Every structure is written in C-alpha cells, then in structure tokens.
Amino acid sequence: MKKTSLYILILLILALALSFVVNSILFTPNIQLKKDKIYIDVPQNIGIDSLTKILKPYIKSPQTFKLAAKIKRFKKPRPGRYEIRNLMNNHQLINRLRIGQKLEVAVTFNNQNSLPDLAGWISRQIAPDSLSLLSTMTDPDFLKSKGFTPDNALLMYIPNTYKLYYNTSPKKFRQKMWQEYQKFWNDKRKAQAKKQGLTPIEAGILASIIQKESTKSSELPRIAGVYLNRLKKGMLLQADPTVVYAYQQQYGKDLIIKRVLNKHKAVDSPYNTYKYAGLPPGPIAMPDIRSIEAVLNPEKHHYLYFVADFNKPGYHIFSKTLTQHNRHARIYHNNLNRNNIYR
C-alpha cells in the first residue's frame, strides 16, 4: 500500500510537472516586439521550419514555438497576411496561423509594360507566384470571352491601388481586375470613346502612345488631338514611340534609343506606325488614367504635327502644316547634332 501510494504520488508529481511544462510552452508570452503589432506574410505550402524562420526576428524562443506546434499537431499554416501582437503566446499564435486571418493589402501597379512584368510585380504583393498569375492572365479562353487578344490583354489592368486579400488566388485577382475594368469603362467613358471614333481598347492603345510621347500632363490632350486628327484624315500616325517599341521588341528591350533614325523606322512590325496605317494591335505601354482621359477629352485644334522642344525639355512645338513642322524639326535635329546625340 505504501509503495502504491508512493507510485501514485510520483505519477501525480510528474503529471503536474508535465502540465506545468506544457502550459509554460503554450501560454508563456513568446512574441517580443518593439511596437504593439507587426504584419507578416506567410506564403503558400510552407512547413514549420520555414515558418519559424519567418518568425525568428520576433519570437524569444523558436524552440518552444516548434514544441508548441508538435503539442497542438500544427503542421502547415494557412497562407496570408497576419497581424502579430506583442506578448502573444504560442497558443494564440498557432491558433491564428491555423485558422487563417483575412487581412487586406494595398496592391498597386502603374508602369509595368507587359503582362510578365505585371505578374512579377503583383507576385511581390500577394501570395501567388508570377508564373501562376501569368498563366491565368494569358488564358486564351478567358481573353476571348472578354473581348481581348494576347496583344491587348494588358489593357484590362487599369493602373491604380486596389484592396485585396494577401492569399487572393490568381483567378480571383483576374476577376477583380475585370470588375475594375468594367467599372472604369462605364457608359460615360464608352460614349466619350465612341465620340472620338474609338472603342475602349483602341482608346487604351492610343493612350499608351501619347503617354510615351510626353510626361507633361498639360500636353497630353493636345497630343491626343494631333493623333486623332491624323486618324480622321487617314494619315499614318508616324509616332516615334511605336518605332522604338517595335525595334526593341525585335532587337532587345534593353536598347536605349535617344534618336529615332531611318534604320529604326524601317523595322517591319505591325507596331511601326511609320509603315502601317491606323493603331498598332496592342499598347506599347500600360496607359495610366490621365493618358486615357486625355484621349477621351482631347484638345480640339488643327495641329497635325509636333516635335520635341529642345529648349524646353519635356514639351513640344506643334504645327498645322508640314512646312512648319519641317522647319521646327530641322532646328531640333541641329540641336541634337550639336550635342553629339546621334543614336
């Protein structure tokens, strides 16, 4: 009886000790921050070791976190953005990571000039990787169903800041962008585009050209007016940015072209508006909202030509006749020569 009582006592002591240890592992504060809270991003398909590496700068004891994960049979966190508060214990932390927490992130894009570039940029802001995003963006069935082609699909993505959950799937991201595209191209804007003889896609393509022509917001409606005048008269657009784009597409995107030469204008590409009439098949850049608005609300005038103003960088000199334009162009090219800018 004495031995039995002793064994029971030892077992009780061990049970109490184990309970104390387990409770200490689970409920002792383990998050130590210099401020009240932080946010961490947990990618898809990671295990406890990788998760511990993410948490390491913020937890006092990575070892007890791993032990707590074993005790609670926690093996795989849900991807997402999580709010982590100072003095959280392992029990609270694991519960949050197990259940998942839907926190919104501000996803911003404005100057990614191709779908691969856009997919790469977005993948830095939400959980899906760039390849899965790009595959979803370029799905031929989806593009066809929405009236896009591989050449103009970039136009579906209106540059702005959008609220999304960190673990938004590629398809949900694409659906969100389609909804935003429809909101942007409301009845009013569609009517404005129609008034200029354009579809929304054509307006986006033209906006991409004028955006590359000038960084000065005040000039964009005037430049839009020039190109619309040329289109209405059946003239070639002869837009230098399209030549630069076409040449870089064939000979290297990293080529720097400061001066458009005859060899550039000779490149055989549907994007070369010196060779092919009308608008190119797709945008040469991601047009921003101000450029699209300039196309929808162009300045009314009779200008048909413009050339960069060498004395006012970023601005242009506009002409109504070819004679006027050639005179201004000679001045501009002479200035380039004097400054040894030959290519």
pLDDT tens digits, 217-259: 999 999 999 999 999 999 999 999 999 999 999 988 888 888 8
- Phi first, then psi, for residue 125 (nearest 5°) are -115, -25
Per-residue pLDDT at 104: 86
Both tokens assigned to 82: 């999580």
Question: Taking the domain 26-99, which CATH number applies?
Answer: 3.30.1490.480
Contact criterion met (CB below 8 Å) for 152 and 205: yes
Helices 2-27 and 90-99 cross at an angle (nearest 10°) of 60
Q: How far apart are CA 138 and CA 119, in angstroms?
A: 10
Strand stretches in the chain, DSSP E: 37-42, 80-85, 104-109, 160-165, 305-308, 316-319
Selected residue with higher pLDDT from 27 and 233: 233
Q: Which residue do the tokens 């899965």 mark? A: 132
Average pLDDT score, the chain: 91
pLDDT at 191 over 70: yes
Selected residue with higher pLDDT from 339 and 198: 198
Other Cβ atoms within 10 Å of 198 Cβ, number = 21
pLDDT at 342 over 70: no
Write the DSSP assignment of 188-206 as a string of letters.
HHHHHHHHTT--HHHHHHH
pLDDT band at 17 (very low <50, low <70, confident <90, very high): low
- Condensed to tens digits (0 to 9), the pLDDT of residues 288-323 reads 999 999 999 999 999 999 999 988 888 999 999 999
Per-residue pLDDT at 99: 85
Selected residue with higher pLDDT from 80 and 16: 80
Sign for the CA dihedral angle at 121, 127, 131, 134 comes to negative
Query: Would you list the domain boundaries of the chain?
Result: 26-99, 107-184, 214-338
Q: How far apart are CA 118 and CA 59, in angstroms?
A: 35
* Single-letter residue type at 86: N
- Condensed to tens digits (0 to 9), the pLDDT of residues 273-283 reads 999 999 999 99
Buried b (16+ CB within 10 A) or exposed e, 3-16: eeeeeeeeeeeeee
pLDDT at 10 over 80: no
pLDDT at 95 over 70: yes
* Residue closest to 51 by CA, chosen among 96, 87, 104: 96
Per-residue pLDDT at 147: 97
Per-residue pLDDT at 161: 97
